[in-house]
Structure 1
Amino acid sequence: MNLAQSFSSGIVLAPFVTSSGLLLKTWDAISSRDEDVVSHVGNRLFWKVFEEQGLTVVVFEVKNFDLQHNLVSSSYLKENNNFHRFEFLRAKKIPDFSVDGSTVSLFIDNLQKLDELKSEINSSNPLIVTGHGVGGAIASLFTVLLLESVGSGKKRPLCITFGSPLVGDKKFQEAISRSSTWSSCFIHVVSYKNSLPKELNPPPRDYMPFGTFLFCSDTSSTCFENPESVLELLVSSTNDQSQGFEATDYGKLVKNLYRKAICKDFTSRGLNLTHSTSLNACIYLQLCAALGLTSDMQQLQHQNINALAAKLEKLENKFMYQKKEKFDPSKKLNVMKIDMAKLEWYKKHCKGQGNGYYDCFKKAISTADQDAVQWQKNLRNYWSDMVEEAEMKPQTEAAAFRIRWLYAGTNYRRMVEPLDIAEYYANGRRKDYVAKGRSRHYEVLEKWLEADKKEKGDSNSNNRKNVELILTIDSCFWARVEEALILCGELESFKEKEEAKGKLLEFENYVYESLKKYEVSPEIFLKESSYMSWWNKYKGMADNSGGLANFMRNPLHFDQYTKGNFSFP
C-alpha cells in the first residue's frame, strides 16, 4: 500500500451520517418531554423507552451525579462487587481491563433494573441506545451488556452518545474492537465546544476511546475511527472553546449539520496545501471542519493545526496498515503458501539425498537446510499471529475463522512442527518437547482439528492413497521418537529401569497403531532416519514378538506400506 496516496474519508462519511436524520431522531428522543412515555427511575439514573414506527429508542439520563474519574479493573469488580456481566469480553490475550469507576458504580447500583430492561427490549425492532453526558456513558455500558448476544442471529444495537466522557482503558477498547461487529455499534457525537468528553484525570491516556467519533462544529463535521487519533483530538488544547456550552446546543448542532449536509464544498479557501500529502491534506480539512474554523481563523492557527495534522497523519498511517492486515489475512496466507511450497521442495530434496527432511534439518549441513530455517520461521510467525488473533475474536467469529483456516493450519502444523522438534533436540541436551518446548499455537491448531472431527463425526479411517506423499498425522511423532532414543540410552546404562522399558513399549505400540492407520510418512524407513536409529537400538532390547517387530523384520514391508498395499494383521 502506498501510504503517500492514502486518504482519510471522515469528512465525506460525516455528512452521510448527519444527513440520514438519525441524529435528529435520537436527539429528539433525548429532549422529549412526552408525558405518555413512562420515565423509569433508578438510583440517580432515569431512562425512557420510545417505540415508534418499528424502532426502539432507549434514552438514559443521569441527574445529580458528580463524575469522579478513576479506573477500576474487571477482576476487582468481579471479586469485590460480584459483577460478572462483562466477563464475555475477556480473552486469553485480554485477561483483564479497566472501566471508569464512578460510571460503572452507577451502572452496578442499577444493575437489577437494567437486566430487566435488557430482557424487556423488543429484539425484533432495530434498537438505538442513547444518552447525553454521563447518560451517554451509561448508554455505552448498557450496549456493551447487549453485545454478548450480537452475532447469534439477533439485530445489533446502535449506541449514539452526545458529549459522553470516556468509559474505559486501552484493554477495554481492545476487547470491544476485537470484533468489527461490536465496535461498529458505537457512534459518539462530540462538539468541539463541549469540555465533558475531555475531562480526564492525568495521565489522560489511561483512557482510550472506542467506536466512531463524530466531531462537530456549528458549520461542519468529520469523523475518526482510529482510537489514538480520537484521543489526540480529545486531549489537545487546540481551540478549546468549552465555556458556556449547554446541553441544548447539541440539538442546534445536529439541526444545522442536517441542513448543511447537502453542501459538497469542503474546500478551505485561501490555504495552500499543494505540498501536503493527500492524507495530510484530508486530515487538515477534517480538523478545520471539526473545530469550526473560518478561513481567517485557519490562517491564524495554521501552524498549530498543521502540527496536529502531522501527528494524526502518523497515527492514521499506522491504523490503516493494521486494518489492511486484518481485513485481508488471506493475501498474506497466499504468500505463506509459497514458503509451504518451498518446504515441500525441501522435503523432496532431502529424500533424494537418502534422508528424511526431519533429520536433514536437524543436522543442518547443507545450504538448503539453512534456507529451510527462514521458511520455517516465516510460517511459524504467521500462524502464531493468526492463532492469537483468532483467540481474541468473539466466540462466533473465532468459530468461523477456524473453519476457514483449518485445512491450511493443519497442513502447516504437520509440515513445520517437526522442524521445531528437530531444533529442540539438535543439541542433544533437551528432553520432553511436548511438555516443555511445544508452542501453544500448535496445541490450539490441534484442538481445532479434533473439535471439527468430533462435530462432523469423522473418525481416523485407513487412508492408503498417496501414502508416499502424506505428512505424518501426529505432528509430535518425531518428539516421541527422540524421547524413545533417550530411553534406549538410559536402558543401556541402567538395565533395571522398568519405567523406561514400559515407556518404550508404549511407544512401540503407538508406532504400530499409527502405521496400521497409515498415518505415518514412509520417510521414517530411510536408513539414516532417527526412527531407524531408534529401531536398531531397540530391537536388541525388545522381545521381538510384537506386531511392530514382525513388520520391521522384513524391509519389503516398507515398500508395500509406501504403496499402500500392506495388510496389517
Structure 2
Amino acid sequence: MGCYLLTFNSGIVQAPFVTSSSLLSKTWDAISSRDEDVVPHGGRGLFWKVREESDLTIVVFEVRNDFDPQQKLVSSSYLKENNNFHRFEFLCTKKIPEFSVNESAVSLVIDNLEKLDELKSKINSSHPLIVTGHGVGGAIASLFTVLLLDSIGSGKKRPLCITFGSPLVGDKRLQQAISRSSTWSSCFLHVVSCKDSLLKKLNPHPSAYMPFGTFIFCSDTGSSCFENPESVLELLVSSINDQSQGFEVPDYGKLVQNLNRKAICRDFNLQGMNLTHSTSLNASIGLQLCAALDMQKQQHQNIDITALATKLEELENKFMSQKKEKFDPSKKLNIMKIDMANFELYKKLCKSQGIGYYDCFKKEASTDDQDVIPSQKRLRNYWSDMVEEAEMKPQTEAAAFRTRWLFAGTNYRRMVEPLYIAEYYAKGLCKDYEAKGRSRHYAVLEKWLEEDKKQKADSNGNTRKNVESILTFDSCFWAKLEEALLLCGQLENLKENKEVEGKLLEFEKYVYESLKRYEVSPEIFLKGSSYMSWWNKYKGSAGNHRLASFMNNPQHFDQYTEGTYFFP
C-alpha cells in the first residue's frame, strides 16, 4: 500500500487515500509506541527512532520536553553566512533568492546535522518512507523532509512527511519555494486539531509564517482538508484566536481512528449559518468547518462561521483560478508551433520579393507585415512566461526545464527578436537597443544557450554548410547593424572621428567572424537589406581587407549560401 502512496502529485488527492488506508494509523502508532526493540537515537535536544516494516520505513522525531521554541524567523542567507549551513540552497531561485525558517527548529537540525546525515544514508533504500513527529517533533520532521528533497529525482520514491499538531516552520517565501513543485508540495500532510493548545503557544504571531503542503483539520466528529495556504492560514489564525476552545491536548490517536472511518462528515446541521444566498462551494465549506471545528458540541464564541466560510470561499476561488491560469508550456507548445510556422511563411514571402523579413517588417509596406503581429505578440508572451516559470523553479528542476526547451527557445529568439529590433529603430530616435530596449527574456534565453555550449564543450568552429534557410545566430545582429548605420552618419558629418572609426572597425570584424562561422543568414545580401545599405556607405572606409575582398564579388554570396566559400 505504501508504494501507491508515493505516486500522487497532488496532496488534496493523496490525503483521502492516506486517511482511508492504514498508513495514518501506522504512523501514529509509531509515534506513540514505546517498543523496546526500536532503539531511539539521541542528539542535542532531539531524539528519533526508525521503525522498519516489510513494505514501509517510518522515522519519528521527538524533541525534549524542556525545549523552548523561539518565534524568531531567520533567513537562509543568514544561516549560510553565519552558520555555514548550505543545505537549503537548492530551494532558492532568482525570484526567491532566500526565505526564512523558525530559528529554534532549524538550530536543532544544524546541531544534529552530522547524525541526521547518517540517518539519511541509512534510510535511502527501496522502501517507501514516512517521516513524522508530534508537536515540535513534527516541525523537525518537516525540515528533515526538506533536506531529503534535494536528492529526490524523477525516478526515486518520494518521502511523505505526516505531522500531528505541528507548528509552522517558515515564511511565505519558503512556502512559495516548495509549492513551485507539485511533487515537493505533495510530500507534506499535516493533521491538526483546532483545539490544540500547542498551536496557540507556539504561533502567537502566525501571520509571519505561511503553511505548505496539505492540512487536515479534524475534530472528534469530522474533518476538513485544504491545500490552499491562504485558507489554511485563515483557519489557523481563527482557531488560535478562538478562546472559547480553551487549552487542550487533543487525543490524536482517537482522531486518527475517526479519520480512518470517515474522512469528510456529512451529518451536520449548519448551526449559526445563513444559507439563504449561499453558493454550493460556500455550503460545502461551511459543512466542512462544522465537522473540523466540532460545531455539534459547542458554539465558537469568537468565530463567525458564516463570515469564515465566505472568506474561505473567496480564497478557494482565487486559488482555483490561479491553478487554472498557471503557465503550462507543454499545453501551449503546439499553438506556438503554428505561430512559428506563420513566421516561416512570412520569411519566405519576403525573400521572394527580394527583401529579408527584417527589412520588410521594418518598412511595414504591406498587409502581410501586419498579419504577422498577432503571432509575434503571442510568441513573446509565451516565452516571457516560460522564462519566468523556469526562474521560479528550484535550481535542480530549472536546469532540466530549460534544457528541455532550449532548442525551441533558441529558434524563437533568432526568428522573433529581430522584429522587435526593427520596431525599436523604426522610431528613428532610438539607440542602444541591447542596453535599453531588449526584453530580459531574450537575454536569459541567450544565456541558457551559452551555458549549454560550455557544458557540452561544443564549438561550431569553421564548419561550412549550406546556410540558405538558417536564422542568424546572434539575434542582436540587427541591433548592432542599426548602430553601425547610425555611426556611418556620424562619420560623414565629422569627417575624422577616431572613436566612431574604432566602433565601425569593431563591427566590421564582428561581421567577418560571424560570416566565417557561417552564422549569418544570406538574406543580408539581398539588394534591399539594411546590411547592404550599411556596406555601401562604409566600404570606402573599410579597414578589414578580408571583408572587403568577400563583399566586392557578388558571386561570393552564392558560394557562402552553398557553404563552398573558404574564408582566409
Q: Please state which band the TM-score falls in when normalised by the shorter chain.
A: 0.7 to 0.9
Q: What is the deviation of 1:462? A: 3.5
Q: Which amino acid aligns with 1:549?
A: A
Give, in whole Å, the separation in 2 of the partners of 1:367 and 1:197. 66
- Counterpart in 1 of 2:6? none
User: Alpha carbons of 1:306 and 1:369: their partners in 2 closer, same or farther (altered >3 Å)?
Assistant: farther
Q: Which amino acid aligns with 2:76?
A: S
Percent of residue pairs bearing the same amino acid type: 75
CA deviation map 1:407-452 (0-9, x unaligned): 3211211112112323443445554433454333223322333454
Give, in whole Å, the separation in 1 of the partners of 2:11 and 2:555. 71
- Counterpart in 1 of 2:29? 28
CA deviation map 1:252-288 (0-9, x unaligned): 1101222345xx8736568997975444444333323
Give, in whole Å, the separation in 2 of the partners of 1:194 and 1:367. 69
Q: What is the deviation of 1:208? A: 0.7
- Counterpart in 2 of 1:113? 115
Match runs of 1:8-407 below 5 Å: 14-62=15-63, 63-151=65-153, 153-197=155-199, 204-237=206-239, 242-247=245-250, 249-260=251-262, 266=266, 268=268, 276-294=278-296, 304-326=304-326, 328-348=328-348, 350-351=350-351, 354-363=354-363, 369=369, 372=372, 375-407=375-407
Give, in whole Å, the separation in 2 of the partners of 1:400 and 1:128. 27
Q: What is the deviation of 1:372? A: 4.9
CA deviation map 1:219-245 (0-9, x unaligned): 222321111121122112597664242
Equivalent pair of 2:464/2:563 in contact (CA under 8 Å): no
- Counterpart in 1 of 2:565? 567
Give, in whole Å, the separation in 2 of the partners of 1:458 and 1:83. 36
Q: What is the deviation of 1:338? A: 4.2
Give, in whole Å, the separation in 1 of the partners of 2:202 and 2:370. 53
- Counterpart in 2 of 1:470? 470
User: Alpha carbons of 1:265 and 1:254: their partners in 2 closer, same or farther (altered >3 Å)?
Assistant: closer
Q: What is the deviation of 1:516? A: 4.6
User: Alpha carbons of 1:56 and 1:16: their partners in 2 closer, same or farther (altered >3 Å)?
Assistant: closer
Q: Which amino acid aligns with 2:105?
A: T
CA deviation map 1:94-122 (0-9, x unaligned): 11111122322333333343333333434
Equivalent pair of 2:50/2:60 in contact (CA under 8 Å): yes
Match runs of 1:500-515 below 5 Å: 500-515=500-515
- State the SS of the aligned residue for 2:320: helix
User: Alpha carbons of 1:515 and 1:14: their partners in 2 closer, same or farther (altered >3 Å)?
Assistant: closer
Give, in whole Å, the separation in 2 of the partners of 1:433 and 1:336. 26
Q: What is the deviation of 1:130? A: 0.9
Give, in whole Å, the separation in 1 of the partners of 2:125 and 2:440. 40
Equivalent pair of 1:191/1:216 in contact (CA under 8 Å): yes
Higher mean Cα deviation, 491-500 or 531-540?
A: 491-500
Give, in whole Å, the separation in 2 of the partners of 1:381 and 1:225. 29
- State the SS of the aligned residue for 2:474: coil
Give, in whole Å, the separation in 1 of the partners of 2:214 and 2:164. 12
Q: Which amino acid aligns with 2:174?
A: F
User: Alpha carbons of 1:174 and 1:385: their partners in 2 closer, same or farther (altered >3 Å)?
Assistant: same
- State the SS of the aligned residue for 2:541: coil
Q: Which amino acid aligns with 2:549?
A: N
Q: Which amino acid aligns with 2:49?
A: K
- State the SS of the aligned residue for 2:178: helix
Alignment pair present for 1:492 and 2:474: no
User: Alpha carbons of 1:225 and 1:419: their partners in 2 closer, same or farther (altered >3 Å)?
Assistant: same
Q: What is the deviation of 1:557? A: 4.5
Q: TM-score, normalised by structure 2?
A: 0.85
Alignment pair present for 1:411 and 2:414: no
User: Alpha carbons of 1:124 and 1:17: their partners in 2 closer, same or farther (altered >3 Å)?
Assistant: closer
CA deviation map 1:25-83 (0-9, x unaligned): 11111111122322223332222222222432221112212233222222222233332
- Counterpart in 2 of 1:552? 551
RMSD over aligned CA atoms reads: 3.4
- State the SS of the aligned residue for 2:195: coil
Equivalent pair of 1:166/1:209 in contact (CA under 8 Å): yes
Give, in whole Å, the separation in 2 of the partners of 1:83 and 1:308. 40
Match runs of 1:400-479 below 5 Å: 400-453=400-453, 459-460=459-460, 461-464=463-466, 467=468, 469-479=469-479
User: Alpha carbons of 1:226 and 1:402: their partners in 2 closer, same or farther (altered >3 Å)?
Assistant: same
Give, in whole Å, the separation in 2 of the partners of 1:119 and 1:457. 34
Equivalent pair of 2:215/2:225 in contact (CA under 8 Å): yes
Q: TM-score, normalised by structure 1?
A: 0.85
User: Alpha carbons of 1:340 and 1:281: their partners in 2 closer, same or farther (altered >3 Å)?
Assistant: farther
User: Alpha carbons of 1:421 and 1:13: their partners in 2 closer, same or farther (altered >3 Å)?
Assistant: same
Give, in whole Å, the separation in 2 of the partners of 1:544 and 1:43. 72
User: Alpha carbons of 1:458 and 1:84: their partners in 2 closer, same or farther (altered >3 Å)?
Assistant: closer
- Counterpart in 1 of 2:7? none
Q: What is the deviation of 1:364? A: 5.3
Higher mean Cα deviation, 80-89 or 9-18?
A: 9-18
Give, in whole Å, the separation in 2 of the partners of 1:99 and 1:10. 22
Higher mean Cα deviation, 427-436 or 469-478?
A: 427-436
Structure 2 residue runs of 5 or longer lacking an equivalent are: 1-9
Give, in whole Å, the separation in 1 of the partners of 2:87 and 2:563. 58
Equivalent pair of 2:178/2:184 in contact (CA under 8 Å): yes
- State the SS of the aligned residue for 1:96: coil
Structure 1 residue runs of 5 or longer lacking an equivalent are: 1-8
- Counterpart in 1 of 2:4? none
Give, in whole Å, the separation in 2 of the partners of 1:369 and 1:337. 19
Q: What is the deviation of 1:350? A: 4.5
Give, in whole Å, the separation in 1 of the partners of 2:285 and 2:193. 17
User: Alpha carbons of 1:267 and 1:400: their partners in 2 closer, same or farther (altered >3 Å)?
Assistant: farther
Q: What is the deviation of 1:165? A: 0.7
Give, in whole Å, the separation in 1 of the partners of 2:265 and 2:138. 32
Give, in whole Å, the separation in 2 of the partners of 1:351 and 1:287. 67
Give, in whole Å, the separation in 1 of the partners of 2:202 and 2:387. 36
Give, in whole Å, the separation in 2 of the partners of 1:266 and 1:426. 66
Equivalent pair of 2:505/2:543 in contact (CA under 8 Å): no
Q: Which amino acid aligns with 2:20?
A: S
Q: Which amino acid aligns with 1:224?
A: F
Q: What is the deviation of 1:178? A: 1.7
Give, in whole Å, the separation in 2 of the partners of 1:544 and 1:140. 65
Q: What is the deviation of 1:199? A: 5.4
Higher mean Cα deviation, 413-422 or 206-215?
A: 413-422
- Counterpart in 1 of 2:521? 521
CA deviation map 1:164-190 (0-9, x unaligned): 111111101111112222212111111
Equivalent pair of 2:218/2:291 in contact (CA under 8 Å): yes
- State the SS of the aligned residue for 1:215: strand
